[in-house]
Amino acid sequence: MKKTAIPATGNRHLRGWDRLSFRLLSVQTVKDNGVVQLPQQLVFSYALIVVAGGAVELMVDQQQFEMTAASAVLCLPGQTFGTARPAWGVEMFVFYFEVFEHGGTEDTGISPVRDFPLFPQKNLVLNNMKQVLSIGSEVSRKDQACGRNLSFRTQIDFQELLYQLQNNSGQRSRDVHSALEQAKQYIEAHYTEPLTVEQLAQTAEFSPKYFIDLYKKKYGKSALEYAAELRLQQAKRMMAYSGVRLREIAHQVGYADEFYFSRKFKKMIGVPPAVYMKSRRRKLAAYTPALLGQLLPLNIVPYAAALHPKWTEYYYRNYRADIPVHISAYRSNRDWQANLALLRQSSADLILAAGELHTEERAELERMAPVYYPPADMEDWRAQLLHLARYLGESWQAGQWLAAYDWEVRTAKDQLQRRLGGDSVVVIRMLGSRLYLHCNHGMAGMLYRELELRPAYESGTVLYDVPVTPAELAYVPADHLLMLIRRDSDTLGEWSRLQNDPQWLKLPAVQRHRVHLLNSDPWRENSAYAQLRMLRQTLQLFPVNRP
């Protein structure tokens, strides 16, 4: 019988490269002279991301890497990766592979290894791109983004690539990019201390003038401006704690003069520190991710929230610096005990929670602080927003936000009617190789109720998730296909194959290039702020001048 158990982590020290074998599963090629952006995706195998040209900022889980040509980073099974921001003219290869251990402490069988960090969690250096380009060339010739049926020669090239990375993993690159990144990391470690341009230039081994020009060109701001941003971000986190005086905060983030700090804070944040501190004194915890999307329209940033760079990508990217305590939005239904332990330390004044919770989980939350649960029968996001606003004493703010939102909806509806005319739309959810005609609460509210787009499929119910094949889609009279594709390595591979499926290629919407991609964030979230983001993204999906 094939052994599938994962070796215990306690045996890690016994593992060596001589006991491991590797099999390349597939290759994803990303090459564009224009703007490149990879949404966060979940991987089920190991993924080695190699930059062959250009420069890009990559997120692996919550760690950020700045990468240039001939650099690589490893993503472990169960982690996520994607670009931190759009990049221009990038060429990348993503190698998906499996690792096996030969012989263990108990027997001499072969077992899969899923938790072993093959390389240090840092930018890896490639001295020779031969193997990368050789594999990329084969994948391009076969016109298979996922590289099925990879040749024996390609498997050998991949082994050589891993061997090269193993040998170089301890080396330190000294190009301009890595020197600037080293200076940036120094700022992040020492921003509360007095910093000078001369000191930072020395860490990068450049002259001060050359360092100033290079740093601003690369990061869009000066090194000292970046240090000031870090100081104020830390100050904002500290302001969420009660009993901390403004003078203490100023001193701890590196300002000897609290009055200068106050002027700097107001200039950069827009309000005086005292006003900001007062707004943050009530320590709210958004235990459920969607509740963050109900708080932001009320101008409330919680003290604690469920965040993750993939599952709550927008909130993580834009608000993680303003939220001191991050509980996990990844596998929260399984890892709730770890979330409770973290939340327990935050001493929250009020916890906002929704959805199905374990009985023990609910009881533990209620022992920590008062807990607000949206009414179970209230599925409409507007009703939820108004109910929460009344509970928090923010009804006026909710009314103001809804008035502005309704005006934006009316404007968008007029534009879309001119752009689409009577065109019909349908949402297709893709999970692995399976397709579904799909509509959830957020889609029903935005696409069909607010914007009054014409649905190409009528199920008889507002919400549906109906299995469908490419051949069956031929009988759905859709002018536009809105694709909700799960961002994991398996599904993305199946999506690449579907685009070459003859039945798929026959669909009128496909032939007319009217296939539009949706991200699960925000299209799977039912909240006020998610609706606003769906509205704006819908406008971007359809060009002003239709073919």
**Cβ contact 484:450 at 8 Å:** no
- Are residues 273 and 357 part of one domain? no
396 located within any domain = no
Question: Residue 536 region, left (φ>0) first, then alpha (ψ -120 to 50), else beta?
Answer: alpha
Whether 540 shows a pLDDT value over 70: the answer reads yes
Whether 4 shows a pLDDT value over 60: the answer reads no
As a whole number, the mean pLDDT across the chain is: 84
Separation CA 320–CA 133 (nearest Å): 37
- Are residues 60 and 143 part of one domain? yes
pLDDT at 512: 93
- Are residues 314 and 269 part of one domain? no
393 located within any domain = no
- Split at pLDDT 50, 70, 90, the class of 14 is very low
Q: For the stretch 221-231, what's the b/e string if a residue is b when 16 or more beta carbons lie within 10 angstroms of its beta carbon? A: eebbebbbebb
pLDDT at 333: 61
Most confident of 111-120, 174-183, 304-313: 304-313
For the ranges 187-191, 233-237, 452-456, which has the lowest average pLDDT? 233-237
- Split at pLDDT 50, 70, 90, the class of 475 is very high
What is the share, in percent, of the chain residues with pLDDT greater than 70? 90
- Are residues 232 and 201 part of one domain? yes
Domain boundary among 256, 280, 304: 280
Domain boundary among 322, 352, 373: 373
Whether 12 shows a pLDDT value over 50: the answer reads no
Residue 171, phi then psi, degrees to nearest 5: -80, 155
Residue 474's alpha-carbon distances to 25, 238, 433, 457, 504, in angstroms, are: 32, 57, 18, 12, 9
- Are residues 84 and 152 part of one domain? yes
Residue 56's alpha-carbon distances to 60, 73, 92, 351, 420, in angstroms, are: 13, 12, 9, 38, 36
Q: For the stretch 287-297, what's the b/e string if a residue is b when 16 or more beta carbons lie within 10 angstroms of its beta carbon? A: bbbbbbbbbbb
Whether 547 shows a pLDDT value over 70: the answer reads no
- Are residues 181 and 148 part of one domain? no
pLDDT at 64: 82
365 located within any domain = yes
Whether 320 shows a pLDDT value over 80: the answer reads yes
Write the CATH number for 420.
Answer: 3.40.50.1980
Residue 209 three-state SS:
helix
pLDDT at 119: 82
- Are residues 329 and 303 part of one domain? yes
Most confident of 138-142, 200-204, 501-505: 501-505
- Are residues 213 and 138 part of one domain? no
For 521, counting Cβ atoms within 10 Å of its Cβ (0-12 exposed, 13-18 middle, 19+ buried), the class is buried
pLDDT at 5: 35
For the ranges 197-206, 332-341, 344-353, 515-524, which has the lowest average pLDDT? 332-341
379 located within any domain = no
395 located within any domain = no
194 located within any domain = yes
- Are residues 263 and 291 part of one domain? no
- Are residues 465 and 337 part of one domain? no
E-strand stretches of 199-303: 284-286
Whether 394 shows a pLDDT value over 50: the answer reads yes
Which distant-in-sequence residues (6+ apart) come within 8 Å of 363 by Cβ?
none
Number of domains in the chain: 4
CA 525 distance to own-chain centroid: 15
Whether 193 shows a pLDDT value over 70: the answer reads yes
- Split at pLDDT 50, 70, 90, the class of 6 is very low
pLDDT at 299: 80
- Are residues 300 and 274 part of one domain? no
384 located within any domain = no
Q: Give 149-190 pLDDT, tens digit per residue.
A: 678 888 888 888 888 888 776 555 556 777 887 888 889 889
In this predicted model, which residue has the larger pLDDT, 410 or 311?
A: 410
Residue 86, phi then psi, degrees to nearest 5: -60, 145
- Are residues 263 and 225 part of one domain? yes
- Split at pLDDT 50, 70, 90, the class of 36 is confident
pLDDT at 140: 60
Write the CATH number for 319.
Answer: 3.40.50
User: What's the whole-number mean pLDDT along residues 366-380?
Assistant: 88
Domain boundary among 168, 193, 228: 168
pLDDT at 514: 94
User: What's the whole-number mean pLDDT along residues 73-85?
Assistant: 88
Domain, as residue range, for 251: 176-280
